[in-house]
Amino acid sequence: MAAMNAKSRDPRETMSSRQRVLTALDHRAPDRVPIDLGGNQTGIHKFAYRALIDHLGIEAPIEIMDAVQQLARPCEEVLERFRVDTRWIAAGAPDGFSGKIERNHRGGRLWHDLSDEFGVVWSMPDDRPYYMDISHNPLADATVADLADYPFPKGDDPSRFRGLRDRALAIRNDTPYAVVGGISGVIYETCWYMRGLERWYMDMVTDTEFCEALLDRVTQFWLDWFRLFLDEVGDVIDVITVGDDLAGQKGPLFRPEIYRTLVKPRQKRLVQYIHSRTKAKIWYHTCGSCVHFIPDLIDNGIDVLNPVQISARAMDPAALKAEYGDRMSFWGGAIDAQHVLPTASPDEIREHVRRNVEALKPGGGYVFNNVHNIQAGVPPENIVALFDAAFEFGFYG
């Protein structure tokens, strides 16, 4: 049976959504665990969203908010139904960049191709429209000398941020919700998007000069970007999201020593700059078994870890909370999104959520979300069970 559309306020809820999020991220116990849905790493695939709104009896258009991941922007009715405490904002593309998806035929198939600002081409087959993969790495054969002439985008183009402050202030002044910024500050991953994953990993061992040169160019892009972003919303935004995937299912994607030499100094410079300009908490996204990097992220100045991939090696919620819960907040970690959420029964979903919430919520420092985005094929009944359990088991005291 479809769930109710909107939920009335529970008398146990004594805080506004913004108060709830900020209290939790200050490592204090709010009235209940804050709930999130709708970001670039905390969102929902268009197919799962279509099934969900049909199940809930909600009539709403499907708006794609992230073309690469094919994420839908949840409508306000869905957010209210699941008692979501966050509202997300994002800067746009600069004037002169269309971001238009082109339709091209290759190899007997129709493809949807998107060239991003860095010249990386992302492609999705029309007959399997689930997400986009990289089909062209513009710096695959580049040398250090070539970087000087490469047309890198301009991070501090003011047209990117047109209307951003008004959107942020509308949330702050006219709603009870926390203002969260869409993903930015992607330094290391942007480099391998441009270079190609295999070549980039080879470079990290055999051509560190190229790696450092490219990392520096991308870091400068984000420093320029954040200078104007923080001019616009540094006094309004509550949580700023940055991130680079550093780990896979079983451990680091590359040696932590390489991270500390090549990547960490640039990330730390960016994070410290953001902290110097705003009181917002900084949220870092990395999938996988990232436990080896958590002390480094804390040293960088990161306040929040996402998505807390509990199915990966050494990512047990209770162990993470015990070791790092006084210094790092956790955002995600709700359920095993690979093996449980897509296939379990709603009752099993409820039990998994109960265990994980009880492990992560003590003393605050926890915001509820699925581990990464809700993927295509997850039954709508399970999505409803996921968020209803978050509310049921999220209260303190």
pLDDT for 115-153, tens place per residue? 999 999 999 999 999 999 999 999 999 999 999 999 999
Indicate the pLDDT class of residue 7, thresholds 50, 70 and 90.
low
| 4 pLDDT more than 90 | no
Segment holding 120, helix H or strand E:
none
| 6 pLDDT more than 80 | no
Q: Model confidence over 65-75: pLDDT tens digits?
A: 999 999 999 99
Structural domain boundaries, residue 72:
32-393
**Residue-level pLDDT at 380:** 98
- What angle in degrees, to the nearest 10, is found between the helix axes of 317-324 and 346-360? 20
Distance, in Å, from the CA atom of 14 to the CA atom of 34, rounded to the nearest integer, reads: 12
Distance, in Å, from the CA atom of 115 to the CA atom of 151, rounded to the nearest integer, reads: 14
Greater model confidence, 65 or 1: 65
Distance, in Å, from the CA atom of 351 to the CA atom of 393, rounded to the nearest integer, reads: 10
Please, is 204 exposed, middle or buried when counting C-beta atoms within 10 Å of its C-beta (0-12, 13-18, 19+)? buried
Q: In degrees, to the nearest 5, what angle opens at C-alpha 75 toward C-alphas 171 and 7?
A: 85
Query: Within 10 A of 113 (CB to CB), how many other CB atoms are there?
Result: 17
Q: What is the CATH number of the domain that holds 66?
A: 3.20.20.210
Residue 189 lies in a domain: yes
What is the share, in percent, of the chain residues with pLDDT greater than 70? 98
How far from the centroid of its chain's Cα atoms is residue 388's Cα?
A: 22
Distance, in Å, from the CA atom of 147 to the CA atom of 302, rounded to the nearest integer, reads: 30
Q: Model confidence over 186-212: pLDDT tens digits?
A: 999 999 999 999 999 999 999 999 999
Q: In degrees, to the nearest 5, what angle opens at C-alpha 197 toward C-alphas 192 and 198?
A: 135
Alpha helices in 139-252 (DSSP H): 144-147, 164-174, 188-195, 197-206, 208-233
Distance, in Å, from the CA atom of 293 to the CA atom of 258, rounded to the nearest integer, reads: 12
Distance, in Å, from the CA atom of 257 to the CA atom of 271, rounded to the nearest integer, reads: 20
Q: Helix, strand, or coil here: 51?
A: helix
Counting other chains too, the contacts that 123-131 makes at CB distance below 8 Å and 24 or more residues apart are 124/70, 129/70, 130/45, 130/47, 130/70, 130/376, 131/45, 131/68, 131/69, 131/70
* Amino acid type, 160: R
Distance, in Å, from the CA atom of 244 to the CA atom of 124, rounded to the nearest integer, reads: 22
- What angle in degrees, to the nearest 10, is found between the helix axes of 208-233 and 188-195? 130
Residue 290 lies in a domain: yes
Residue 242 lies in a domain: yes
| 5 pLDDT more than 70 | no
pTM of the model: 0.96
Distance, in Å, from the CA atom of 157 to the CA atom of 224, rounded to the nearest integer, reads: 9
Residue 63 lies in a domain: yes
Residue 343 lies in a domain: yes
Q: How far is CA 37 from CA 49, 231, 361, in A?
A: 12, 26, 18
Q: In degrees, to the nearest 5, what angle opens at C-alpha 18 toward C-alphas 17 and 24?
A: 90
**Residue-level pLDDT at 3:** 38
Q: In degrees, to the nearest 5, what angle opens at C-alpha 146 toward C-alphas 142 and 152?
A: 100
Query: Within 10 A of 11 (CB to CB), how many other CB atoms are there?
Result: 6
Segment 245-267 mean pLDDT: 97
Residue 44 lies in a domain: yes
Residue 10 lies in a domain: no
Render 229-249 in DSSP notation, one character per residue: HHHHHTTT-SEEEEE---B-S
Mean pLDDT of the chain: 96
Decide: 279 and 298 in contact? Cβ < 8 Å.
no
Domain count, the chain: 1
